[in-house]
Amino acid sequence: MTETPPFTELMDQAAYAQAVLTATEAAAAYYGAGDSPLDDDAYDRLVRGIAAYEAAHPDEVLPDSPTGKVAGGAVVGDVPHATPMLSLDNVFSAEGLANWMAGLQRRLGREIAAWSVEPKLDGLAVSALYRDGRLTRLVTRGDGLAGEDVSHAIGTILGLPDALTSPVTLEIRGEVLMTREQFEAANEIRVRHEGVPFAHPRSGAAGTLRARERPYKVEMTFFGYAALPWEDDDQAGLRGLAHGATMDLIAGLGVGTTAGTPVEPRVCTTAEAVQARIGEIAALRGELPFGTDGIVIKADLAADREQAGSGSRAPRWAVAYKLPATEKITKLIDVTWNVGRTGVIAPRAVLEPVEIDGVVITYATLHNPADITRRGLMIGDQVMVYRAGDVIPRVEAPLVQLRTGAEREIEFPTGCPRCGAELDVTQQRWRCVRGRACHAVASVGYAAGRDQLDIEGLGETRIVQLVEAGLVADFADLFVLTSEQIRGLDRMGETSTANLLAALERAKARPLNRVFCALGVRGTGRSMSRRIARHFGAMEAIRGADLDAFQEVEGIGPEKAALLVAELAELAPLIDRLVAAGVNMTEPGAPGPATAPGADADAGEEPPLAGMTVVVTGSMTGPLAELTRTQMNELVERAGGRASSGVSARTSLLVAGEKAGSKQAKAADLGVRVVTPEEFAAMVEGFLP
Ligand SMILES: NC(=O)c1ccc[n+]([C@@H]2O[C@H](COP(=O)([O-])OP(=O)(O)OC[C@H]3O[C@@H](n4cnc5c(N)ncnc54)[C@H](O)[C@@H]3O)[C@@H](O)[C@H]2O)c1
Ligand SMILES: [Zn+2]
């Protein structure tokens, strides 16, 4: 995070005027029906661009400009607030926060002894008036001075009870939002009734709060974050109370607060403690059942807040530490259907690449077919995508108002996309009726393949036999087969049984890269498996790797790293059984990540292919004649090189065997060095198998 976040550059007055119009329209939609065509990041960039333009051209500022106004000046109301309902100033980094804290203490001329740190709830602000303990009026923030009466929503908001536990009169302020569950429920009802889902929980809350006369009810949640005496009658004893104590008081009256959630308000007495708590809340963000777009830091003591006072847009005693946006709008290009290891059919959204918090997202989960129906998604839709922390990105909903007419229905599979068998659609998650067996034949076949464990004599027919006999459900089962079990199969005599057992024994000794590849980890093929095996050296190190450790491997970004961590967790029982069966779990000659370069066997000496990208083509001869392509690639990587399959300008060396063909011609064109298998064997002599 940087202190000056990016902004949309506005080149001239016309661009500035257009930006003001776009921003005010978006803000009106955002605070109104909740259907802004912009995501928050896009809106914030635009407003920062407007502010930058205005700073450079102060005499061109338009009266409609959103800068410096609550809600961007885009909303009005007719119910005046006794005390203005303001926005919050923002900081974007630890340094920005430290400056803000120092500035406030300077203004007060003293140290601030206590800070309250709490989540910035991503909903919309309301004022709830309780008279004699009864909820009588609900008003939105509006332009800060006056809001809209939304009392019709009373009774639909958890956390705002009709009656308090004590008959006091006071005004409570807080945020109305939809939890994830409430959002899902709301969209299910909406799609059933009028076909227009909400784009995300925040817009769901905005649209629902203002809607009158809907034929259906949806539930929302309120979290209070302030309380004020009503008409100078401080019945609840709020005056002089610290913020933390106020929160306890309203919770005691039966009003919802974040107390009891993992991000409950915490009073901190040092800047270090404030920063630590910010880190904790930021880390919990992805797991919370409601949205947070930052952390609010407030002077806790009433005397500090009173003395600091407020500006026209925001109080001076509080600030929002903004977190990077978790939601972006992008296009749904396609939906693919994957069959998981247990036979579950999982739809996956293929997206136009979009960056969220520094990570480029190209796929998102759609969970199950019902999820697609509930959201009313179509291919070609602009969709809101969510990603926070380590959660797998998900599509929240389409932005129906942006449809062009070119969108297409999403087709649901009518049979198992992998084996064609029938689908069991009685549950939310559809399954292939073959369950694990659907996966077993394909996955065992893959593991036994030439480039993985290379198990001779284990062809598809044998595998089907083994699976159908109930002897094998995954490839770890192969290694505990007894000769009696094998001999019991059709057309298996003494010799073929002995041969298969011997082949299995050999397969156990394959290098780690083959074993890893055999696991069929999504997103990794042969060359990625080799890179991972060489990088980590041992299965134990791979299993212990976290997101950061995986990203040290060439070609692994955050998206793939997250997938690997999830896949390895899912495969843990299988790997445990392979280990128990005595399958090799190390990569010969790999330095592993913990060892410093040069600390391995041939200490001090660079391996012969260090830094080289090597392509092998044609049939091998001489000492290499027996090696398969996979074994050749392993050899390249053992000798410190990187094996690649295509010749390009980045290729350092082409090993051209007999009938080398087009790759040799291309290498000649590009001036890539070409060697014969014999010359290559001499280069890597110490590394031959
Ligand atoms: N996508 C769009 O088109 C669009 C348009 C307008 C605004 N926005 C977004 O809205 C935001 C700006 O809105 P804003 O002016 O309402 O300011 P804000 O939401 O960033 O901050 C002020 C608000 O924070 C809320 N808040 C949440 N938790 C709180 C807590 N614990 N204590 C105190 N207050 C708390 C209050 O409602 C307060 O009014 C920006 O993030 C912007 O991206 C988006
Ligand atoms: Zn199937």
pLDDT of residue 4: 62
Annotated active-site residue 659? The verdict is: no
Pick the CATH number of 512-580 from 1.10.600.10, 2.60.40.10, 1.10.150.20, 3.40.50.10790: 1.10.150.20
Dihedral angle, C-alpha 631, 633, 638, 640, nearest 10 °: 170
Q: In what order do the strands lie in the sheet with 613-617?
A: 642-644, 613-617, 653-656, 673-675
Distance CA 611, CA 597 (A): 13
pLDDT at 641 over 80: yes
Per residue, the 3-state secondary structure of 78-126, as one string, reads CEECCCCCCCCCEECCHHHHHHHHHHHHHHHCCCCCCEEEEEEECCEEE
pLDDT at 592 over 70: no
Work out the pLDDT band at 165, boundaries 50, 70, 90: very high
Average pLDDT over residues 664-674: 87
What atom in ligand 1 is closest to the CA of residue 258? 31
What atom in ligand 1 is closest to the CA of residue 125? 37
> Among candidates 639, 641, 617, which has minimal Cα distance to 688?
639
Centre of ligand 2 from the C-alpha of residue 337, in Å: 12
For the chain, the structural domain boundaries read 13-73, 79-322, 327-424, 436-507, 512-580, 613-687
pLDDT of residue 330: 97
Work out the pLDDT band at 34, boundaries 50, 70, 90: confident
Average pLDDT over residues 110-123: 97
CATH topology of domain 13-73: Helix Hairpins (1.10.287)
Average pLDDT over residues 57-71: 93
Q: Encode pLDDT of 596-633 as tens digits.
A: 343 344 445 678 888 889 999 999 999 999 888 888 98
Is this complex scored with an ipTM above 0.90? yes
Task: State whether CATH 3.30.470.30 applies to domain 79-322.
Answer: yes
Work out the pLDDT band at 136, boundaries 50, 70, 90: very high
pLDDT at 63 over 90: yes
pLDDT at 170 over 90: yes
40 marked as part of a ligand binding site: yes
88 marked as part of a ligand binding site: yes
Our answer on whether the CB atom of 247 is closer than 6 Å to any ligand 1 atom is: no
Our answer on whether the CB atom of 328 is closer than 6 Å to any ligand 1 atom is: no
Centre of ligand 1 from the C-alpha of residue 47, in Å: 13
pLDDT of residue 410: 96
pLDDT of residue 602: 43
pLDDT of residue 32: 84
Structure tokens at 114: 């206590």
pLDDT at 2 over 50: no
Higher confidence at residue 40 or residue 598?
A: 40
Centre of ligand 1 from the C-alpha of residue 89, in Å: 10
Architecture of domain 327-424: Beta Barrel (2.40)
The ligand placed nearest to the CA atom of residue 200 is 1
43 marked as part of a ligand binding site: yes
Residues lining ion ligand 2 (Cβ < 5 A) are: 416, 418-419, 421, 432, 434, 438
Higher confidence at residue 383 or residue 631?
A: 383
pLDDT at 459 over 70: yes
pLDDT of residue 605: 66
In testing the pocket of ligand 1, which one of 7, 81, 120 has its CB within 8 Å of the most ligand atoms? 120
pLDDT of residue 99: 97
pLDDT of residue 538: 95
pLDDT at 219 over 50: yes
Distance CA 220, CA 31 (A): 16
* The model's pTM: 0.73
> Among residues 69, 120, 328, 663, which one is catalytic?
120
What stretch of H or E contains 643? strand 642-644
Q: Which CATH class is domain 436-507?
A: mainly alpha
Work out the pLDDT band at 37, boundaries 50, 70, 90: very high
438 marked as part of a ligand binding site: yes
> Among candidates 347, 228, 271, 215, which has minimal Cα distance to 102?
271
Our answer on whether the CB atom of 26 is closer than 6 Å to any ligand 1 atom is: yes
pLDDT of residue 106: 97
What is 613-687's CATH number? 3.40.50.10190
Strands (E), 408-546: 423-424, 431-432
Task: Find where tokens 């290559």 sit.
Answer: 680
Higher confidence at residue 437 or residue 571?
A: 571
The mean pLDDT of the chain is 91
Our answer on whether the CB atom of 36 is closer than 6 Å to any ligand 1 atom is: yes
Q: Encode pLDDT of 228-245 as tens digits.
A: 999 989 999 999 999 999
Centre of ligand 2 from the C-alpha of residue 418, in Å: 5
Strands 613-617 and 642-644: what pairing?
parallel
> Among candidates 372, 395, 391, which has minimal Cα distance to 382?
395
Our answer on whether the CB atom of 71 is closer than 6 Å to any ligand 1 atom is: yes
The answer to whether 133 and 197 have CB atoms below 8 angstroms apart is no
The answer to whether 180 and 201 have CB atoms below 8 angstroms apart is yes
Q: Encode pLDDT of 251-263 as tens digits.
A: 999 999 999 999 9
Q: Do 436-507 and 512-580 have matching folds?
A: yes
The answer to whether 479 and 578 have CB atoms below 8 angstroms apart is yes
Our answer on whether the CB atom of 127 is closer than 6 Å to any ligand 1 atom is: no
Our answer on whether the CB atom of 65 is closer than 6 Å to any ligand 1 atom is: no
Our answer on whether the CB atom of 120 is closer than 6 Å to any ligand 1 atom is: yes
pLDDT of residue 434: 83
The ligand placed nearest to the CA atom of residue 72 is 1
Q: Encode pLDDT of 328-363 as tens digits.
A: 999 999 999 988 877 899 999 999 999 998 889 999
Distance CA 258, CA 175 (A): 11
* Portion of the chain with pLDDT greater than 70, in percent: 97
Q: Encode pLDDT of 475-491 as tens digits.
A: 999 999 999 999 988 88
pLDDT at 585 over 50: yes
298 marked as part of a ligand binding site: yes
Residues contacting 264, CB < 8 A, separation 6+: 118, 257, 258
